[in-house]
Amino acid sequence: MKNPTHSTRGCIEDWQTKMELDLTKDDLPLMANTNHMLVRHYVLDLDVDFNSHVVGGSIVLFFESSSRCRKGDSEQMERACHSQSDETCHVQGPEACSIPVPAASAFSTKSGRNDFADCGKGENDTFDKNGSHGNREQASGISSSKNGCDFEIHGNEDFLLVLDCCDLSVLKVEEVDVAAVPGSEKFTRSAKLMDASEDPKDLRNQIVCELVTLPADHWREQHHFYRRCSQAPACGELLFVTGTWSLEIRKAGVQLPKDFPHAIRIWYKTKSEGRSLSWTTDQTGRPCVYTVGSPINNRALFPCQEPPVAMSTWQATIRADASYFVLMSGENAAEPTEYTDGVLNWFYYVTMPMPASTFTIAVGCWTEIKKEVCTTDIQRNYGFFSTVLKGGCEVKGWCFEHPCGHQPYPCRFQDPATVSQVVIPYRIFAPVCLQNACEDILLQLIPQCLSAAHILLGTHPFSRLDVLVVPSNFSSLGMARYKHFPA
């Protein structure tokens, strides 16, 4: 595939050639042109191969690009903050919503899934939302132009979508035909969408536009259709080229972001030397892999947008040998399903928009440490920690009087049941050699820590917690070797 001949691409190449980063001192370059298009949702479908130290498969990105696609934030905010996701209600896993497609010719022959398309309408506006509670200092206007080149639209040149990417082997980029998904007609019933139906490109883009802007209290339906759309057939390949720090994608003849596909599928595989994953052994000498959180975030795990303004949700299906346990930073406690003989599927999702750098995965031969939790020990903490709160201030009730300032999603901060939840559900995982130590220490410590955090800081922002005891070579900040846990 030929490289795009584009002045924007020339700007990127010149800047990346001149750039010599010292990752111990320098900030990461933000290459993604988020001032034109923002990823609102990622759907990952990946296989973990411990023999080759490679993770590979596909990722589907759903974009938003137009202020006309965004519904009134004030209307969604009220619904969102009263639409707490029920831990007992699950998003359907991949086995529940498959669409027949041709066999994949990319990384994995296991997945049996192939084509994805993208659509979207938008204008060259800057997104100015963030996801912090009560923080109204928005990250507006943040774009890659401050760190690299000012990616403008010039004359008759094709629009170039730039994603943050490093140490990935990109095999193919496709446009996804979301209009082929059964049931997608429900997103085309308005007059404006019926008028757009004469142009398949416009129809596909408008379907994605309607999907990404569904109200927060429709998150289950939204995630269901994200999944189904991610399995839709492709309707054409896109031109792409990879740089040192970026993946650049274009569609011949498309000059504006509003006409660029808003649902695209990228087939790729990681490299064994990629710096987003650590392939190592656990404390018993068995293989494991996990995201290390530094020094390049998740750019060597999947193509993404990293500027602070880029907040998105995700869902992921991970396949691994049945002897391994897959943990992720999802809101659900995944239960594995059989994919093929000796291979299991693990499905996770999140409904809170967050930066791509917060995506975590750990695959290894972990053992879950289980024990009955004594609530009396938890409640004893009130006597000690309540003395810290001066004047009887109830921090945990703050959000009832002060509405959240984040973009709409199923928020826990306005739900009385979650506001009063002192200890959220938690699980502890470790190699079997540390089971006794975890039972003696962590099983007693975790509920006390959660209780103290609730009293001091208020509502837990997440519905559950997984704690994993990783090897002592874990390099992320804040991790220290505990003397009771041998290396």
In whole angstroms, give the CA distance from residue 264 to residue 358. Answer: 22
Placement of tokens 């999907």 in the chain = 211
Which residues are CB-neighbours of 250 under 8 A, at least 6 positions away?
A: 4, 6, 158, 159, 160, 161, 238, 239, 240
pLDDT, one tens digit per residue, over 383-432 is 333 333 333 334 444 444 456 777 788 888 878 888 889 999 999 999 99
SS3 116: coil
Cβ contact 276:298 at 8 Å = yes
Q: Report the amino acid identity of residue 211.
A: L
Residue 97 has pLDDT above 50, yes or no: no
**pLDDT class of 154 with cuts at 50, 70, 90:** low
Share of the chain above pLDDT 70, in %: 64
- Higher pLDDT, residue 377 or 323: 323
Cβ contact 282:273 at 8 Å = no
User: CA dihedral defined by 325, 329, 331, 334, rounded to 10 degrees?
Assistant: -10
Cα–chain-centroid distance for residue 101? 25
In whole angstroms, give the CA distance from residue 163 to residue 416. Answer: 40
Lowest mean pLDDT among 29-33, 295-299, 377-381, 415-419: 377-381
The pTM of this model reads 0.76
DSSP annotation string for 386-400: GGGSGGG--GGGHHH
Residue 302 has pLDDT above 50, yes or no: yes
**Strand pairing class (277-281; 343-354):** unpaired
Cβ contact 448:422 at 8 Å = no
Residue 68 has pLDDT above 60, yes or no: no
- Higher pLDDT, residue 101 or 8: 8
Cα–chain-centroid distance for residue 453? 25
pLDDT, one tens digit per residue, over 1-48 is 334 444 455 555 545 544 566 666 667 789 999 999 999 999 999 999
The per-residue pLDDT for 208 is 94
- Higher pLDDT, residue 389 or 269: 269
The per-residue pLDDT for 23 is 61
In whole angstroms, give the CA distance from residue 250 to residue 173. Answer: 10
SS3 453: helix
**pLDDT class of 149 with cuts at 50, 70, 90:** very low
pLDDT, one tens digit per residue, over 423-467 is 999 999 999 999 999 999 999 999 999 999 999 999 999 999 999
Cβ contact 64:212 at 8 Å = yes
Lowest mean pLDDT among 6-15, 162-171, 244-253: 6-15
**pLDDT class of 271 with cuts at 50, 70, 90:** very high
The per-residue pLDDT for 473 is 75
